[in-house]
Amino acid sequence: MTDKTDKSEKSALDRSTLLPLFGTGWKMAESKDALEKTFLFKDFKQAFAFMTKVADDAEALNHHPEWSNVYRTVKVRLTTHDTGGLTKLDVDLARRMDTAAGY
Ligand SMILES: C[C@H](O)[C@H](O)[C@H]1CNC2=NC(N)=NC(=O)C2=N1
């Protein structure tokens, strides 16, 4: 039996890959094509430091978040624009964001 799963970074996801992320506060968007999470930090500088760190991670992955910052809150939505859905890159970036936030 040949393995037919697409190993490319932008292939669709196995749901089990998402379970650990649900454990750290990520939610599936209503539209089912994105992951969402709101990060709350001690203050604005911590929030901005988080975004600066994640900017490096995003560039390293060439995969970028949709996000907004108000004071000490950063709201994040992760989806793969090129495929219009969730891929491994979204999971990788979510994990890196949790690490950057100290999860
Ligand atoms: C040309 C460039 O490599 C692509 O547009 C990259 C950039 N960052 C990206 N970020 C996200 N979230 N999805 C993409 O499909 C994507 N594609």
The model's pLDDT over 36-63, given as tens digits with 9 standing for 90+, comes to 999 999 999 999 999 999 999 999 999 9
Predicted confidence band at 8 (pLDDT cuts at 50, 70, 90)?
low
**Best probe residue, ligand 1, of 9, 33, 63 (max atoms within 8 Å of C-beta):** 63
Is 5 within a domain?
A: no
Q: Does pLDDT of 12 surpass 70?
A: no
Quote the number of domains for the chain.
1
Task: Tell me, yes or no, whether 37 lies in a domain.
Answer: yes
pLDDT recorded at residue 99: 98
**71 within a domain of the structure (yes/no):** yes
C-alpha dihedral sign at 31, 97, 93, 52? positive
Give the pLDDT confidence of 22-32 residue by residue, as tens digits: 999 999 999 99
Residue with tokens 């491994």: 88
The answer, yes or no, to whether ipTM is higher than 0.90 is: yes
CA of 32 to the centre of ligand 1 (A): 19
Give the integer Cα–Cα distance in Å for 91 and 85: 12
Nearest atom (ligand 1) to Cα of 65? 12
DSSP calls for the chain: ----S--STTSPPPHHHHHHHHTTT-EE-TTSS-EEEEEE-SSHHHHHHHHHHHHHHHHHHT---EEEEETTEEEEEE-BTTTTB--HHHHHHHHHHHHHTT-
Q: How much distance in Å is there from the Cα of 59 to the middle of ligand 1?
A: 10
- Note down the domain range covering 84: 20-101
pLDDT of residue 51: 98
pLDDT one-digit tens code per residue, 61-72: 999 999 999 999
Atom of ligand 1 nearest to the CA of 83: 15
The pLDDT of residue 7 is above 60: no
Cα torsion 90, 24, 29, 19: sign: positive
Residue 38 near residue 76, CB atoms below 8 Å: yes
CATH code of the domain covering residue 53: 3.30.1360.20
